[in-house]
Amino acid sequence: MWSSLFSQKDEFGRGAAAAAGGAGAGGGKAVVREIFGKRRAQESELNKSQRGKVKLVFFVALVGVTLSIFGVSTDYWVELAPPKRFYGNETCLVAHYGLWKGCVRRLWLDDINPNRESCGPAGLPGESNCTYFRFFTLGENAVIFKRTTTKSLNMTTAVLAQISFFMMAMGCTCIIMALSKGVQFFVKSASFCFIFSGLLLLVAVIVFHQSVLSLLGSDQSIPLHHELSSSVACVGSAGAILIVGGILFVMLFLPGIPCK
């Protein structure tokens, strides 16, 4: 009787010890998970210094966004000008166009620099006749100084610019969420958006230049001087600034970088 009673107590003690040991192991694992979870959460949060640097780089990116909006919305991507005396009167014509519309401006020869051989620049005062391109509505090419545009190249440039704007909007949204929520992940996502949008703008400038060369080669009856204008300079600068801004966002969170 006593032996059976003591054997039951021993079995009960061993079972309690095993249960306590299991509970201790499980509790230890929970503590480890909690410690590492807190560490990961701290690493993924923005500290005060990082917030200030993110705001500074975001300001740089916003400069690129502003330049891109100005460049894409204006129609001074390229200027086309025949020689000043080509029409043999007191005025001459100069054309300029962008992604959405083109303008032909009539200038007075007295207003043009005597040392300039071609008509222009288009910024001089004169009478303008502007029309929107029909690429996006009727699918028709435009004719400028008897030369025909290549609508596929012009439309490709416009589509690249629109995709770039979408990526810029995504990048700005990610930065705003990162600053409001204090999460590094959104900054890293924004860096990709800004770099990609900058690359798209640079590709758009290259494609547009090819469209200008195609336009010039479509007819040779009127000699023309062409030059890329201020809008292209804005878009190209915006693309470079956005790429730099995206790279700076990445550098903020690379290990071993002193700017952190």
Quick check: 195 and 248 in contact, CB under 8 A?
no
Query: Could you give the 3-state DSSP secondary structure of residue 207?
Result: helix
To 10 degrees, what angle do helices 230-251 and 151-181 make? 40
**Dihedral in degrees, nearest 10, Cα atoms 35, 41, 46, 48:** -30
Check whether 237 has a pLDDT greater than 50: yes
Between residues 135 and 8, the one the model is more confident about: 135
Once rounded to an integer, what is the mean pLDDT over residues 112-140? 88
pLDDT of residue 255: 60
Quick check: 184 and 45 in contact, CB under 8 A?
yes
Quick check: 77 and 231 in contact, CB under 8 A?
yes
Check whether 19 has a pLDDT greater than 60: no
**Dihedral in degrees, nearest 10, Cα atoms 245, 247, 253, 258:** -90
Whether the model pTM is above 0.75: yes
Q: Select from 3.40.50.150, 1.50.40.10, 3.40.50.11240, 1.20.140.150 the CATH code of 46-251.
A: 1.20.140.150
pLDDT of residue 123: 86
Quick check: 164 and 156 in contact, CB under 8 A?
no
Identity at 60, one-letter amino acid code? V
Between residues 106 and 23, the one the model is more confident about: 106
Identity at 15, one-letter amino acid code? G
pLDDT of residue 52: 85
Task: Assign 137 a pLDDT band (cuts: 50, 70, 90).
Answer: confident
Once rounded to an integer, what is the mean pLDDT over residues 248-260? 70
pLDDT of residue 172: 95
Q: For all residues of the chain together, what is the average pLDDT?
A: 82
Q: Convert the pLDDT of each residue in 155-179 to its tens digit.
A: 999 999 999 999 999 999 999 999 8
List the domain boundaries for the chain.
46-251
**Dihedral in degrees, nearest 10, Cα atoms 158, 173, 249, 64:** 40
Q: Which residue has the tokens 């439309």?
A: 155
Quick check: 214 and 157 in contact, CB under 8 A?
no
Q: Convert the pLDDT of each residue in 71-98 to its tens digit.
A: 999 999 999 999 988 887 888 999 999 9
Lookup: tokens for 71: 């460049």
Between residues 43 and 100, the one the model is more confident about: 100
Task: Assign 214 a pLDDT band (cuts: 50, 70, 90).
Answer: very high
Identity at 19, one-letter amino acid code? A
Check whether 256 has a pLDDT greater than 80: no
